[in-house]
Structure formats: C-alpha cells, structure tokens
Amino acid sequence: MKLDEVPQDNNRTLGGYRKAMYARDESGRMVMTPSNGWEVEEIVTTQAIDTLQAQADAARQRIQAGQSAPLEYWIYARRMDIEMLAQVTGLWRWRIRRHLRPAVFARLSPALLARYADALGLTPDQISRLPEQP
C-alpha cells in the first residue's frame, strides 16, 4: 500500500479517532501514517454490532411474550453472550439459562441478582426490566 492509497473514508465507527497504518512513501520506505478509516472496516464493525443488536431485539420480543427474563436482553445489549457471562460470573451456563425463565428470575436471591448486575456493569434494578423502546 502506498502512502496516497491509505484509505481516509471517515468511518463513523471510529468516533473521530484516527488509527495508525503502515504504508510506503515515495522513496519506498515504510512509514506510519494516520487513517480516519477504511469503508471495509466500517462494514464489518457495523455488522458485528448489528448482529448483537439483532440478538438483543430477538430477546426483547421473547421477554415481551413472557418467554424470557429482561436479563437476556441486557446480556446482548452489553455485547456479551451466555458463554461469556458464564465466564465472567463463574456460573454454569445451564444455570444462567434456567435463570432466564421469568418465573425463576423473579425468585432470584439479591446476591445472585447483584452478581449478574455487576458483571454487566448495571444495577439490579436495571437488569430486572427492559429499557424504553428507542
């Protein structure tokens, strides 16, 4: 990649940051240069975020249908999945899945609720309900 080929596509996903890239200058020397993004990166980052968003939306529908607890929505809204939450909280995956049943979730001990809330960086109150529709 030559210096003048370094993409400057103004990626939204970079939030104003510029990243360092290595490219060759006219004399053939590799030098570091800032880039405000490449559309390719924006496409795949947006896809990763959209995938999590879709999972959160699907969870929201299950919750509204009474099939799942609001905790499930927050797992994806905080960019995790059940496997990751299991690692962070030290709880078994099957136990987390069981806790996602609305009836079981309603009876969770304050200690467990706090454990989930802490892992997600939220309060017990927040993870017990859905946020307003955006």
Partner 1 sequence: MSYQHQHAAHCESGTAANLLRHHGATITEPMAFGIAAGLSFAYLPFVRINGLPLIAYRMLPKAILKGAAKPFGTQFRFEKFRSVEDGQRRLDELLASGQIVGLQTSVFWLPYFPESMRFHFNAHNLVVYGKEGDDYLIGDPVAEEPQRCATADLNRARFAKGALAPQGLLYYPITPAYDNVKPEAIRPAIRTTARNMLAPVPIIGVRGIRMLARRIAKLDPKDAMSSPFIGHVVRMQEEIGTGGAGFRFIYAAFLQEARDITGIAALGECSERLMEIGDAWRDVALAAARMVKGRDALDPPAIAALLMQQAASEEAFFRALGKTV
Chain contacts with partner 1 (rule: CB under 8 A): 1, 12-24, 28-32, 34, 38-41, 43-49, 51-52, 79-81, 83-84, 87-90, 119, 121
With respect to partner 1, which residue has the nearer C-beta, 66 or 121? 121
With respect to partner 1, which residue has the nearer C-beta, 32 or 106? 32
131 closest CA partner among 81, 65, 56, 40: 56
d(CA 67, CA 60): 10
Smallest distance, partner 1 to C-beta of residue 35, A: 8
Answer yes or no: are the C-beta atoms of 82 and 69 closer than 8 Å: no
Token representation of residue 115: 């454990």
Smallest distance, partner 1 to C-beta of residue 5, A: 9
Smallest distance, partner 1 to C-beta of residue 120, A: 11
d(CA 108, CA 90): 16
